[in-house]
Structure 1
Amino acid sequence: MCGIAGIYNYQSSKEPSTEGIVKNMLSLIKHRGPDESGILQDSNVGMGSVRLSIIDLTSGQQPMSDQSGRYWIVYNGEIFNYTELRSELITKGVRFKTTSDTEVVVQMYATYGADCLKYFNGQFAFCIWDRNKKELFLARDRVGIRPLFYWHQNNSFAFCSEIKGLLSLEHVERSLDEESLSQIFTYWTTLTPKTPFKGIFELQPGHYMHVSSRGIQINKYWSLDYTSTKEPIVKNLSDSIEELDNLLDDAVKIRLKADVPVGAYLSGGLDSSVTTSYIKKIEPNVLNTFSIGFSEKAYDESGYQSEAANFFNTNHIAFSCTSEELAGSFAQTIWHTEFPILRTSPIPMFLLSKKVRENNIKVVITGEGADEFFGGYNIFKETKIRRFWASQPNSKIRPKLLTKLYPYIPLVKDAPEISLKMFFGYKLSETENPAYSHLLRWNNTSRLKSFFSDDIISSQNSNSSPGALKALPDGFARWSGLAKAQYLEATIFMSGYLLSSQGDRMAMGNSVEGRYPFLDHRLIEFSSKLPDNFKLNCLNEKFILKKLSVGKIPASITNRSKQAYRAPVSTSLYNFKTPDHFNDFLSDESIISYGIFNLKKVKTFLAKLEQQDTISEIDQMALVGILSTQMLYKMFIKEPITPNSGELKNCRIINSLKSD
Structure 2
Amino acid sequence: MCGIVGVCGISRARPTEASTLRAMLGMIRHRGPDQFGIYLDDWAALGNARLSIIDLKTGQQPISNEDGSLWIVFNGEVFNHVELRQELEARGHRFSTTSDTETVLLAYEEYGPACLSKFNGQFAIAIWDTRRRSLFLGRDRLGVRPLFYTRTGDTLIFGSEIKALLAYPGIQAELDPLAMDQIFTYWSPLSPRSCFEGIHELPPGHFMRLEDGRIRIEPYWELRFPEEGSLPLRTKGEYADELRDLLIDATQVRLRADVPVGAYLSGGLDSSTIAAIIRHHTASPLETFSISFGDPGFDESEYQTQMARHLGTQHHVVHASHADIGRVFPEVVWHAEIPILRTSPAPMFLLSKLVRDKQFKVVLTGEGADEFLAGYDLFKEAKIRRFWAARPDSTFRPGLFNRIYPWISGLARGGGSYASAFFGMGLEETGSPDYSHSIRWRTTARTKRFFSEDLAERIGVAMAAEGHGLAYPSGFGQWDPLHRAQYLEISVFLSQYLLSSQSDRMAMGHSVEGRFPFLDYRMVEFCNRLPPTLKLRGLTEKFLLKEISREWLPPAITDRPKQPFRAPIHRAFFNDTPPDYLEELLSPGAVRASGCFNPVAVDHLVAKLKLGQGLSETEDMALAGIISTQLVERQFVSGFRPSPPLDESDDVKTVLRQGASTEEQPCP
TM-score under structure 2 length normalisation: 0.96
Say if 2:536 is the partner of 1:544. Answer: no
Gaps of 5+ in 2: 661-668
Is the CA contact 1:403–1:414 (under 8 Å) kept in the aligned structure 2? no
Look up the SS of the partner of 1:412 in the other structure: coil
CA distance in 2, matches of 1:580, 1:588: 17
* 1: CA distance, partners of 2:198 / 2:348: 29
2:17 maps to which residue? 18
8 Å CA contact 1:286, 1:315 repeated in 2:
no
1:113–1:392: structure 2 CA closer, same or farther, 3 Å change rule?
same
Comparing 545-554 with 507-516, greater Cα deviation is found at 545-554
**In 1, Cα distance between equivalents of 2:311 and 2:20:** 49
The CA distance in 1 between the partners of 2:506 and 2:152, in whole Å, is 30
Aligned residues, how many?
657
* 559-568 or 397-406, larger mean C-alpha shift: 397-406
Tell me whether 399-408 or 350-359 shows the greater mean CA deviation: 399-408
Is residue 403–residue 413 contact of structure 1 (8 Å, CA) maintained in 2? yes
Question: What CA distance in whole angstroms lies between the structure 1 residues aligned with 2:491 and 2:341?
Answer: 18
How many Å apart are 1:284 and its aligned residue?
3.9
**What does 1:579-658 correspond to in 2, within 5 Å?**
579-647=579-647, 649-657=650-658
Check the 8 A contact 2:247/2:517 in 1, yes or no: yes
Contact kept? 1:272, 1:367, Cα under 8 Å: yes
One-letter identity of the residue aligned with 1:106: L
2:412 and 2:418 in contact (8 A); partners too: no
Aligned-pair distance for 1:451?
A: 0.5
Q: Return the offset for 1:214.
A: 2.3
Q: Mind listing any 5+ residue stretches in structure 1 that lack a counterpart?
A: none
Cα distance per residue 1:169-209 (max 9 Å; x no partner): 22223210000001000000000000110110000000001
Say if 2:349 is the partner of 1:350.
yes
2:172–2:637 Cα contact (<8 Å) kept: no
SS at match of 1:292: strand
1:568 is matched with 568
Show CA shifts across 1:285-306 (max 9, x none): 5311000100111110000000
3-state secondary structure, aligned to 2:437: helix
Distance in 2 separating the partners of 1:411 and 1:361: 44
SS at match of 2:22: helix
Which is worse superposed, 408-417 or 301-310? 408-417
Cα–Cα, structure 1 residues 244 and 499, in superposed 2: closer, same or farther, change >3 Å? same
* CA distance in structure 1 between the partners assigned to 2:580 and 2:53 by the alignment: 40
1:467-492 deviation line (CA, Å, top 9, x unaligned)? 95543211101001100000000010
Contact 1:177 1:198 (8 Å CA) reproduced: yes
| Aligned AA (1:514) | G
Q: How is 1:40-51 mapped onto 2 (pairs within 5 angstroms)?
A: 40-51=39-50
Maintained 8 Å contact 1:338/1:632: yes
The amino acid that maps onto 1:243 is E
- For the residue of structure 1 that corresponds to 2:406, the secondary structure is coil
Aligned to 2:296: 297
User: C-alpha displacement at 1:402, in angstroms?
Assistant: 1.0
Give matches, 1:163-202, under 5 Å.
163-202=162-201
CA contact (8 A) 1:463 1:469 kept: no
Aligned partners of 1:283, 1:610: CA distance in 2, in Å?
53
Tell me by how many angstroms 1:657 deviates. Answer: 4.1
Q: How far off its partner does 1:320 sit? A: 1.7
- Superposed CA deviations along residues 578-628 of structure 1, whole A, max 9, x for unmatched, are 112111110011011111101111112222223344322111111111001
Residues 645/436 of structure 1: CA separation in 2 closer, same or farther (3 Å cut):
same
**Is the Cα–Cα contact under 8 Å of residues 385 and 427 in structure 2 kept in the other structure?**
yes
- Offset from partner CA, 1:128-165 (integer Å, 9 cap, x none): 00111111000000000000000013111000000111
Cα distance in 2 for partners of 1:305, 1:414 equals 33
Aligned to 1:380: 379
1:66 and 1:106 in contact (8 A); partners too: yes
Distance across 2 between alignment mates of 1:646 and 1:160: 16
Separation in structure 1 between the aligned mates of residue 449 and residue 6 of structure 2, nearest angstrom: 39
Q: Determine the structure 2 residue equivalent to 1:401.
A: 400
Stretch of structure 1 that moved more, 65-74 or 301-310:
65-74
Task: Between 467-476 and 301-310, report the one with greater CA deviation.
Answer: 467-476
Quick one: distance in 2 between partners of 1:537 and 1:586? 46
What is the identity, as a one-letter code, of the residue corresponding to 1:635?
A: Q
- The answer to whether the 8 A contact 1:400-1:417 is kept is yes
Q: Do the aligned residues in 2 keep the contact of 1:148 with 1:161 (CA within 8 Å)?
A: yes
Q: Which AA in structure 2 matches 1:100?
A: S
For 1:17, the aligned partner's letter is T
Quick one: distance in 2 between partners of 1:20 and 1:281?
50
Question: 1:228: Cα distance to partner?
Answer: 4.2
Contact in 2 for aligned 1:38/1:62 (Cα 8 Å): yes
8 Å CA contact 1:373–1:527 kept in 2: the answer is yes
8 Å contact kept, 1:327–1:579: yes
Pairing of 1:60-75 with structure 2 (within 5 A): 60-75=59-74
1:227 Cα deviation after fit: 1.9
Q: Which residue of 1 aligns with 2:81?
A: 82
Contact 1:188 1:341 in 2 (8 A): yes
Listed as ranges, the matches of 1:216-365 within 5 Å are: 216-365=215-364
Two-structure CA RMSD over aligned residues (Å): 1.6
Q: Distance in 1 between matches of 2:152 and 2:284?
A: 53
Match of 2:666 in 1: none
Structure 1's 228 and 245: CA in aligned 2 closer, same or farther, altered over 3 A? farther
Query: Does the 8 Å CA contact 1:77/1:124 hold for their aligned counterparts?
Result: yes
Going from structure 1 to structure 2, the CA distance change for 1:545 and 1:602 (only over 3 Å counts) comes to same
Q: Give the aligned residue type for 2:568.
A: P
Q: C-alpha offsets along residues 489-533 of structure 1, whole Å, 9 cap, x if unaligned?
A: 001000111000000000000000000000000001001111100
Structure 1 letter corresponding to 2:95: F
**1:18 CA drift (Å):** 3.1
Q: Distance in 1 between matches of 2:415 and 2:61?
A: 62
Counterpart mapping for 1:48-63 below 5 A: 48-63=47-62
Instruction: Identify which range, 282-291 or 189-198, moves more after superposition.
Output: 282-291
SS at match of 1:159: strand
* Counterpart Cα distance in 1 of 2:471 and 2:268: 35
Q: Secondary structure at the match of 2:654?
A: strand
Give the AA of the match of 1:121.
N
Partner Cα distance (1:413, 1:149) in 2: 46
Q: Using the TM superposition, give the Cα deviation of residue 464 of structure 1 relative to its aligned residue in structure 2, in angstroms.
A: 6.4
Q: TM-score, normalised by structure 1?
A: 0.97
